[in-house]
Amino acid sequence: MSKQFDVIVIGGGPGGYIAAIRAAQLGKNVACVDEWKNAKGGPAPGGTCTNVGCIPSKALLQSSEHFEQASHHFADHGITVKGLSMDAAKMVARKDAVVKQNNDGILYLFKKNKVSFFHGRASFARAVEGGYEIKVAGAAEETLVGQQIIVATGSNARALPGAAFDESMVLSNEGALALTAVPKKLGLIGSGVIGLEMGSVWRRLGAEVTILEGLPEFLGAVDQQIAKEAHKAFVKQGLKIELGVKVGEVKVGKKGVSVAWTSAKGEVQTLDVDKLIVSIGRVPNTTGLNAEAVGLKLDERGAIVVDADCQTNLPGVWAVGDVVRGPMLAHKAEEEGVAVAERIAGQHGHVNFNTIPWVIYTSPEIAWVGRTEQQLKADGVAYKAGTFPFLANGRARALGDTTGMVKMLADAATDEILGVHIVGPMASELIAECVMAMEFRASSEDIARICHAHPSLSESTKEAALAVDKRTLNF
């Protein structure tokens, strides 16, 4: 006998588990199927984000930042550390414990919200009267029937042609987060989000890091004034970033990896490293979903085709997160999951794609929302720009971290905020105020008139807003 559900969610990452919880909150009988296994073979819901992405990378970024501070910056505060040492295996074990807390947290939330969890791989079997039959293979062998299906199967790292991931010498995000010793020389292909975050972790711990980036511009999607400031900081820290390169043959040996590459000037070079991380983007994951059994439409990249409401070509089948169009961000997946659950329940869930924040958790952090200056120029929008450097912020001086700035872009005629771009301390937290302001369609004057606590980094946001009107008070 098959088990019947109102909603079956395939995938327990941030898109899937949040959709399952929201649908259950709205009174639906919900199942969530996820196959991720922990080291003991038990369930590890939370997807890439929890297991090999957002959460573990932040754990290692924090540990490595502590080490960097103790090694180089405590002395400025009059603190001397003798006999400082670092145990990479222990750092990784701590990271694993943080991941487990999050896995267990999701299992607890499923129980609390009465979501039925199945540990295994789900695939479409066939369409049936009023729904779809889903097979679960793995620890739980089941046949489920759901009236509504939400596919949230995420994405996988894209491999470099001719250099398959072995997670020992050629690493994806998974291997990059599991190294238990610091490589002497580390190479990375791609200076995107993962390249910069992982490059930062292992540089702080002592690796000599070289990043080979195909595009001539550093962080092309980021506001270029902010990207230039970040580039300067990273190079000063010791990250070697080569732009506009063409990566050639990758030779994997027992002791290292050799990458042939051509520089922007056309010089043929070789990069010899102990480990190579390939971080050149991710591809949607529909492997084993058996989409063809029900005629679920995929595009040429393998992403599930959806409309603006995450509805697929099949009635009652929805898809959210990395497996569909749009940025591959955990919080975008969560918002889509909530909106779909609400639509299924007859509500009017909505995701505002114009106010999705981006964060790169390097040091300095980079965070932004809305359009960049180069996008506004390309769109022919008349705008005013205001910037404020952390160098002139009292809290940043006290913290000893004055790198970077807040930059605000507002419509020249209406003063509506069109984008905010931050590079500097706690940019990941500062951006929240700007997202809210844009969601409420605030003007730069609105932010300029709001009382911000002193001393705080957030005063830089207020000052950037004042700068739009050319009337900063502290610069």
Q: What is the nearest approach in angstroms of ligand NAI to the Cβ of residue 332?
A: 9
54-68 helix and 88-112 helix, angle to the nearest 10 degrees: 140
CA distance 17 to 45: 8
How far is the CA of 83 from the CAs of 68, 70, 86, 207, 248, in angstroms?
Answer: 14, 11, 10, 19, 43
Query: What is the residue-wise DSSP string for 404-442?
Result: -EEEEEEETTT-BEEEEEEEETTHHHHHHHHHHHHHTT-
Asked whether the bond before 389 is cis by omega within 30 degrees of 0, the reply is no
Q: Which is nearer to ligand NAI, 212 or 317 (CB)?
A: 212
Q: What is the nearest approach in angstroms of ligand NAI to the Cβ of residue 73?
A: 23
Q: What is the nearest approach in angstroms of ligand NAI to the Cβ of residue 38?
A: 21
Give CA 140 to chain center in angstroms: 30
Q: What is the nearest approach in angstroms of ligand NAI to the Cβ of residue 277?
A: 9
Contacts of 130 (CB under 8 A, 6+ apart): 147
Q: Which is nearer to ligand NAI, 157 or 468 (CB)?
A: 157
Q: Which is nearer to ligand NAI, 279 or 402 (CB)?
A: 279
Closest residue to ligand NAI: CB criterion: 192
CA distance 449 to 443: 10
Asked whether the bond before 14 is cis by omega within 30 degrees of 0, the reply is no
The reply to whether 454 belongs to the active site is: yes
How far is the CA of 45 from the CAs of 52, 156, 369, 375, in angstroms?
Answer: 11, 16, 29, 38
Q: Which is nearer to ligand NAI, 12 or 14 (CB)?
A: 14
CA distance 377 to 436: 24
Rg over alpha carbons for the chain, rounded to the nearest Å, is 24
Q: Can you tell me whether residue 215 is helix, strand or coil?
A: coil
Q: Which is nearer to ligand NAI, 151 or 194 (CB)?
A: 194
Q: What is the nearest approach in angstroms of ligand NAI to the Cβ of residue 222?
A: 10
* Of 419, 422, 403, residue with least CA distance to 411: 419
Q: Which is nearer to ligand NAI, 182 or 212 (CB)?
A: 212
| Interface positions with ligand NAI (CB under 6 A) | 160, 189-195, 197, 212-215, 247, 279-282, 327-329, 359-361
Q: What is the nearest approach in angstroms of ligand NAI to the Cβ of residue 98?
A: 16
Q: What is the nearest approach in angstroms of ligand NAI to the Cβ of residue 390?
A: 20
List residues bridging with 441 in a β-sheet.
Answer: none
Query: What is the residue-wise DSSP string for 82-117?
Result: -S----HHHHHHHHHHHHHHHHHHHHHHHHHTTPEE
Choose the catalytic residue: 66, 73, 350, 454.
454
Q: Which is nearer to ligand NAI, 92 or 189 (CB)?
A: 189
CA distance 365 to 423: 6
Q: Mind telling me the catalytic residues? A: 454
